[in-house]
Structure 1
């Protein structure tokens, strides 16, 4: 028991970060599963983090209410920008959502009286416990699992394959894209709210372009052919720097090399159910 206590004292933040990163990867998985390359998840995370932190610090809101606010604020923002931006696709949608993220970052920097500007917010109550992250992750995974097997999930898949054909089949393409966008924003905002009450401090630079690319990389690296893929990608990308810490100055070199090898030899991501089924069939045939 003492060994576990020592481990938890050192690595508790890392373990909880695994959970919040998994939520972020699932948030962008949701939009990718609908065929949208939207890069606003880091901005939605920031909106959720600041909304929850301000509710806690300025209004002494209960933790549950702060989390709800952290989900509602980015959902409203996603709904507001979703109507005009989701008419775009591919790289144009990515550019538009990246621009939105930069607008959010600049707005945070220039509202010092509310957000603390470049100095950020410090002294956020450490309300996030391990079971909060675990429970939220399980609920989100269960909710997305049910969604994938529902009529809405099948519509998402049809839109991803061919949105024109999906529209001809009677699917409300614009409505379903907006729904995926808003739900992804809510999950990203929830991750931001949990993270804000874990790290005690948030600043605008935490939710910029680099963070957005990291979230996308987690989902693509793990694979978007199933719910486990983004989670595995988040775990891999979060743990690699820690596992390679003993390499000192060469850590980032090996980190990048491992990621390149995964992309080259596992183009569908770490979690690829089709590849795994084929592998098991070959093993079964050899036996």
Structure 2
């Protein structure tokens, strides 16, 4: 049994740990969606965190904890800077603006070849991420978001999502809370980028483009934002799909788009929907097979 587990871990350890980083990414966009913002910059924030920590550990010998802190702080600061003009937008206009920002980040990474490796990316990143780093990060982020959701700030997020104008009339600082959600989401995405970069040895600008942004959104929409476990579930499913459907790996972006359309049409609140679960349990109590 122990030999089997050792063999399994040696083969699939990166995949298992990738489930954790995917969960962090899904939770990062959960924050902005919970505040009523369709922001698509999380892939870029992930890239900023990954490149920041990788450059610091490779070129300057920073210890891993300090690199993690820097990898979270850098995207949060950038989010604050770009949030001033972009968060005035809403809906599809905010999505377009944040997607454009992601493309700008990708082009900057390609142009700064001496620092980032350009289009070829950074290779030979020290493998510092351990399994307990990922587990601890997911647990801490879930605990923090659960506490935040029950707090005054979390209730303000919900009010802004339901009706931004009414929330403002109630005395809620709408712009301030939006900025907070945007910056916290960026920090969590940066954390995922740090852990992923020091797990896979290599990062490149193509990993943080439009396709990754759509993938992150798909994770959260698939799982649902009614509970913190929804984004985690979505992240696990979307990460495992390419492994389960290896023959369709060239159509991964198409599959993600199709999943997103189907979920919006048939399960608009995602797979983890407490109301749907209560309905199923109610049918079972009556002796009806759902």
TM-score by length of 2: 0.94
1:249 is displaced (CA, Å) by: 5.3
What residue number does 1:39 align with? 40
Secondary structure of the residue aligned to 1:143 is helix
Q: CA deviation at 1:251?
A: 8.7
Structure-2 separation of matches of 1:169 and 1:256: 39
Asked whether the 8 Å contact 1:244–1:251 carries over to 2, the reply is no
Cα shift at 1:68: 0.4
Residues 74, 186 of structure 1: 8 Å contact kept = yes
* 2:93 maps to 1:92: yes
CA distance in 1: counterparts of 2:257 and 2:44, whole angstroms: 28
Whether the aligned pair in 1 keeps the contact of 2:223 and 2:231 (CA below 8 Å) is yes
Which sits farther off after the overlay, 228-237 or 275-284? 275-284
1:256, CA displacement in angstroms? Answer: 6.4
- C-alpha contact 1:241 1:251 (8 A) present in aligned 2: no
More displaced stretch, 248-257 vs 266-275: 248-257
Deviation at 1:264, TM superposition (A): 4.4
- Which consecutive residues of structure 1, in runs of 5 or more, have no partner in the other structure? none
C-alpha spacing 1:250/1:91, structure 2 compared with 1 (3 Å) = closer
Task: Report the more deviating stretch, 136-145 or 248-257.
Answer: 248-257
* Partner in structure 2 of residue 188 of structure 1: 189
User: Structure 2: 5+ residue runs without aligned partners?
Assistant: none
Match of 1:165 in 2: 166
The 3 A distance-change label for structure 1 pair 209 and 255 is closer
| Counterpart contact for 1:240–1:255, Cα < 8 Å | no
Aligned pair count reads 285
**What is the distance in 2 between the residues matched to 1:123 and 1:255?**
31
RMSD: 1.8
Matched, 1:286 2:287: yes
For residues 134-161 of structure 1, what are the alpha-carbon distances to aligned partners after superposition, in whole Å with 9 as ceiling and x for unaligned? Answer: 0000000000000000000000000000
Cα contact 1:23–1:187 (8 A) shared by 2: yes
C-alpha distance after superposition, 1:242-268 (max 9, x if no partner): 1233xx359959956983655544332
SS of 2:78's equivalent?
Answer: helix
**Corresponding residue for residue 130 of structure 1:** 131
Question: What's the CA shift for 1:9?
Answer: 0.7
Q: Please state how far the C-alpha of 1:286 moved relative to its aligned partner.
A: 2.9
Quote the offset at 1:119 in angstroms: 1.1
Alpha-carbon distance in structure 2 between the residues aligned to 1:52 and 1:256: 29
Is the Cα–Cα contact under 8 Å of residues 45 and 207 in structure 1 kept in the other structure?
A: yes
Task: Provide the rounded CA distance (Å) in 2 between the counterparts of 1:174 and 1:47.
Answer: 24
Q: 1:205 to 1:283 in 2, by over 3 A?
A: same
- Structure-1-length-normalised TM-score: 0.95
CA shift for structure 1 position 285: 2.9
Deviation at 1:241? 1.8
Inter-partner Cα distance in structure 1 for 2:154 and 2:56 = 34
On the 8 A contact 2:160/2:167 being kept in 1, the answer is yes
